[in-house]
Amino acid sequence: MSKREFPKGFLWGGATAANQFEGAWKEGGKGISVADCARSHLDIDVKDYKRQNAVTTEDVLKALETEDTVYYPKRRGSDFYHHYKEDIALLAEMGFKCFRMSIAWSRIFPNGDDSEPNEEGLQFYDKVFEELEKYGIEPLVTMSHYEPPVNLVLNYDGWYSRELIGMFTKFVETICRRYKDKVKYWLTFNEIDSIIRHPYTTGGLIEDRFSGKNFEEVIFQAMHHQFVASALATKICHEIIPDSMVGCMLTKKTIYPYSCRPEDVLIAQQNMRSTYCYGDTQVFGEYPSYLLARFKNRGINIVKESGDDEIIKKYPVDFVSFSYYSSLCAAEPREGLKEAVGNNSTAYENPYLSSSDWGWQIDPLGLRISLIDLYDRYRKPLFIVENGLGAKDIVKEDGTIDDQYRIDYFDAHFKAMLDAIEYDGVDLLGYTSWGCIDLVSESTKQMSKRYGFVYVDCDDYGNGTFERIRKKSFDWYKKVISTNGASLFEE
């Protein structure tokens, strides 16, 4: 049998987001973002996803009164802002071809509605891109990853306001012009479907600000504005950078029916549509009929301006990117089923799978199934821009970190990816593992939920030197990249 390896030019790398990685929340003229005010893990059950997302106006106002970085860990992140040279050198040492990062909107337009961009913020990313270029690492930039300026929440009610389309496209135009020679791959909104699960983080929406309104309708109105903004961002990007590739970014929820009962199958299918409706709109350029039916049946009225549908139709995305951590099981509720925890949604535990320390079920074959599903549906190149194992790592007395469990996780997922490419005909552009250097968790805001090949010496309370330490998986991934996956099949 001939040697198995990934397609030539496969973009191996890792992913981060400014709000969880950069820190320096008030430096360099940066404004405050929703992430800087997000409640920490310190007073919540890390497995209670509903509670984590219940942000109130009072919470935000309280957050704005304090400089505390213990209760608000995203304010310190992993301090990439001051470590970017060292961090990028580490990525280069692993042989990264690609690095996914986001540009913090509030670093460029501190309040979102400013007339001029913050030059110091722009310069920071100039330096980051120059450093990446030095090592031949291709940046993959998310325009919005859970970080709208908080001013837009308090004074405009977030993405519910149509005015955000103009402010966002101004931000997009600014960064596309500035980095046109440096960045070819772009993503518009991270996990655009997550607005329904965490409206505050994704859409800047706080329920108590909409009394008397149907909050579900508010969320879908904001979603509509994001669809228009995403299409316009694609247009702007293509105009300014003709060879750019712009992708959507979805949370891939691969949902199995818990049993072969038709009721379970239907529920699984319906749940899958809750993500597909976003991809369908961004790829096919129109709202799918099942989403319109949902609006009608639930009495939801979306206010559109004339021309919106044409914009969405005219500027679809070039590729489909997604996060994949786990599959889920859906069932008609009944006795005896155990609820599973996962990426901000609840489902039933799959008895055939094991789980991470945080209860996320591990399913490499589910990644292959996801790739097939998405490719069959969209027939666009795919990009896995998040995947990985959040685990507790221990630094041994000799200073080493033996994360064999992470190597095992990646090994199985990479083989599933290659099967999808070779046996199922999927066109996969690349793979960026989540949190390639440890960063603050989105859902629980913990530092101890680590994903990286590189350890960051900082605990859940911000204690530590922020020193970077290579884990065992560092050399393993380096070898995978240098052999383009062939090392996965070595004895």
**Choices 57-65, 274-282, 440-448, 473-481 (CB under 6 A): range interacting with ligand BG6:** 440-448
Quick check: 443 binds ligand BG6 (CB under 6 A)? Answer: yes
Of 52, 190, 234, 473, the one binding ligand BG6 (CB under 6 A) is 190
Minimum CB–partner distance for residue 255 and ligand BG6 (Å): 16
Decide if 22 is catalytic.
no
Q: Which is closer to ligand BG6, CB of 241 or CB of 437?
A: 437
With binding defined as CB under 6 A, does residue 121 bind ligand BG6? Answer: no
The answer for residues whose C-beta is within 8 angstroms of residue 185's C-beta and 6 or more apart is 98, 138, 139, 140, 141, 244, 245, 247
- Nearest to ligand BG6 of 118, 188 (CB atom): 188
Total site size for ligand BG6, rule CB under 6 A: 15
- Would you count residue 17 as binding ligand BG6 (CB under 6 A)? yes
Q: Determine contact, residues 354/361, Cβ cutoff 8 Å.
A: yes
Measured from the CB atom, the residue of 244 and 444 that comes closer to ligand BG6 is 444
| 442 lies in the binding site for ligand BG6 (CB under 6 A) | yes
Tracing tokens 């071809």 back to the chain, one arrives at 97
Judged by CB under 6 A, the stretch of 99-107, 257-265, 307-315, 434-442 that binds ligand BG6 is 434-442
Instruction: Determine if 438 is a binding residue for ligand BG6 (CB under 6 A).
Output: no
In angstroms, the CA 59 to CA 54 distance is 10
Q: What are 302's two structure tokens?
A: 């979306």
Catalytic residue (choose from 191, 217, 349, 442): 191
DSSP-based three-state secondary structure for 352: coil
Among residues 185, 434, 476, 477, the one that binds ligand BG6 under rule CB under 6 A:
434
Q: Which is closer to ligand BG6, CB of 217 or CB of 442? A: 442
Handedness of CA 153, 248, 72, 207 (dihedral sign): positive
Phi, psi of 68 (to 5 degrees): -55, 130
Q: How far apart are CA 70 and CA 240, in angstroms?
A: 41
Beta-bridge partner residues of 437? 454
Q: Residues 225-264: x/- map of binding to ligand BG6 (CB under 6 A)? A: --------------------------x-------------
Q: Which helix (H) or strand (E) holds 434?
A: strand 428-434
Please identify which residue in 449, 450, 468, 471 interacts with ligand BG6, judged by CB under 6 A.
Answer: 449
Conformation bin of residue 23: beta by default, left when phi > 0, alpha when psi is -120 to 50: left
**Binding to ligand BG6 in span 331-350, by CB under 6 A:** 343
Residue number of the CB atom closest to ligand BG6: 443
Nearest in space to 210 (alpha carbons), one of 262, 157, 287, 135? 157
Which phi and psi (to 5°) does residue 362 adopt?
-100, 120
Rounded-to-integer distance, Cα 199 and Cα 286, Å: 22
For 68-86, the three-class secondary structure string (H helix, E strand, C coil) is CCCCCHHHCCCCHHHHHHH
Residue 58 a catalytic site member: no
Catalytic residue among 131, 138, 386, 442: 386
**Is 383 a binder of ligand BG6 (CB under 6 A)?**
no
**DSSP state letters, 87-141:** HHHHHHHTT-SEEEEE--HHHHSTTSS-SS--HHHHHHHHHHHHHHHHTTPEEEE
Considering the complex, state which of residue 254 and residue 444 has its C-beta at the smaller distance from ligand BG6: 444
The interface region with ligand BG6, picked from 161-169, 295-303, 419-427, 437-445 by CB under 6 A, is: 437-445
Q: Which amino acid is at 241?
A: I
Stretch that binds ligand BG6, among 119-127, 361-369, 400-408, 439-447 (CB under 6 A): 439-447
Residue 61 neighbours by CB distance under 10 Å: 12
CA 151 from chain center: how many Å? 22
Q: Interhelix angle for 364-378 vs 404-422, to 10°?
A: 30
What residues from 309 to 328 belong to the interface with ligand BG6 (CB under 6 A)? Answer: 323
Residue with Cβ nearer ligand BG6 (225 or 445): 445
Residue 386 in the binding site for ligand BG6 (CB under 6 A): yes
> Of the two residues 370 and 443, which places its CB atom closer to ligand BG6 in the complex?
443
Among 191, 280, 308, 363, the residue binding ligand BG6 under the rule CB under 6 A is 191
By annotation, the residues acting in catalysis are 191, 386
Could you list the residues that contact ligand BG6 (CB under 6 A)?
17, 20, 190-191, 251, 323, 343, 386, 390, 434, 441-444, 449
